[in-house]
């Protein structure tokens, strides 16, 4: 890495019309190239960033023409000769499950972050841009580092804006239909259990995100459907009506059946047993499918990602119990 450099002076940035609806944190990541997400959260939290003269939150949505005050910050300049490791690029190339003129879709492997930052040098977006240097790829949404499954990137600005608008409409049940597969600790009741519990997100020192059920949080709804019980645990399908950070993991823990392998919100003893006896070395959460339509409903998409082989292997071992 090169030495630290100081961006001189406060910068005032006008939000372009085609960035209408973009989150403040993502806008700043584009303005402060190379800045870790933890730094972005800190300068917002400290009130150094202002939108039209007022304090704002990281998830505040910007409008075209907004004036954003950006303070001078120290940014570690990346070595231009550094590149994502070849092994990572090979995994990402092999993970592509769909592509057309507008979208690129991968079955994101567990353990690869969606983007770099907070101690992660390279994520999916950096890797795919290295693989496709001449394509203007943009992330449509995010998945937790340890979650696998459907991750959508836009190849066209028009597709990105449409999908971002759909994501914002998710709270009104008009957004993409997202379905996950998960193994929950313990025996869930048969049928479907709906969890309607508001979630409050906190950003810890260093940028780590923690989420809890809190009446003052944002409305959050998840539907857990039991598919089958294996080895005293519950293999479930989950449909989410809202797209909150860590939503499925926190809702599952809230009902007393945390996601297997969840080190942040899960059951430590159950995780140890699942790891030692059944080989579960990761979070058992997989984004299985996403369905939506672009171009005013004229271009429907149903995107699927098969369950990761290591998760299928755990289910097979549990079947023997």
Strand 148-154 versus strand 285-294 pairing type? parallel
Residue 169 is given by DSSP the state: G
Quote the tokens at residue 190.
């048969």
Clarify whether 144 is annotated catalytic: yes
**Residue carrying structure tokens 């313990």:** 186
Give counts: helices (H), strands (E), the chain. Answer: 8, 17
Which of 25, 46, 79, 144 is labelled catalytic? 144
Beta bridge partners of 151: 106
| 33, 75 contact by CB (below 8 A) | yes
**How far is residue 302's CA from residue 176's CA, in Å, rounded to a whole number?**
10
**Residue carrying structure tokens 């672009």:** 294
| 313, 280 contact by CB (below 8 A) | no
Secondary element (H or E) of residue 249: helix 247-254
Q: Which residues are catalytic?
A: 144
């Amino acid at each position: 890495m090169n030495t630290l450099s100081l961006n001189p002076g406060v910068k005032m940035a006008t939000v372009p019309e085609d960035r209408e609806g973009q989150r403040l944190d993502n806008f700043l990541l584009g303005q402060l190239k190379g800045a870790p997400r933890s730094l972005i959260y800190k300068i917002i939290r400290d009130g150094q960033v202002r939108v039209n003269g007022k304090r704002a939150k990281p998830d505040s949505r910007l409008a075209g023409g907004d004036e954003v005050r950006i303070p001078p910050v120290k940014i570690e300049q990346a070595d231009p000769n550094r590149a994502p490791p070849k092994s990572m690029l090979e995994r990402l190339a092999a993970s592509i499950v769909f592509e057309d003129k507008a979208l690129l879709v991968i079955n994101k492997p567990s353990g690869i972050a969606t983007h770099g930052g907070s101690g992660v040098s390279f994520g999916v977006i950096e890797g795919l841009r290295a693989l496709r240097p001449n394509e203007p790829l943009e992330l449509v949404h995010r998945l937790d580092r340890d979650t696998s499954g459907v991750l959508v990137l836009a190849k066209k600005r028009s597709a990105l804006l449409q999908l971002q608008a759909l994501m914002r409409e998710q709270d009104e049940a008009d957004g993409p239909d997202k379905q996950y597969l998960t193994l929950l600790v313990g025996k869930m009741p048969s049928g479907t259990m709906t969890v309607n519990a508001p979630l409050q997100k906190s950003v810890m020192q260093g940028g780590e995100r923690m989420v809890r059920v809190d009446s003052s949080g944002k409305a959050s709804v998840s539907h857990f459907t039991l598919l089958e019980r294996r080895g005293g645990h519950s293999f479930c399908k989950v449909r989410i009506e809202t797209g909150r950070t860590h939503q499925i993991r926190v809702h599952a823990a809230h009902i007393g059946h945390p996601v297997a392998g969840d080190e942040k919100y899960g059951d430590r003893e159950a995780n140890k047993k699942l790891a030692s006896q059944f080989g579960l070395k990761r979070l058992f959460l997989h984004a299985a499918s996403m369905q939506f339509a672009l171009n005013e409903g004229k271009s429907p998409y149903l995107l699927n990602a098969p369950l990761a082989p290591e998760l299928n292997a755990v289910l097979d071992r549990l079947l023997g119990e």
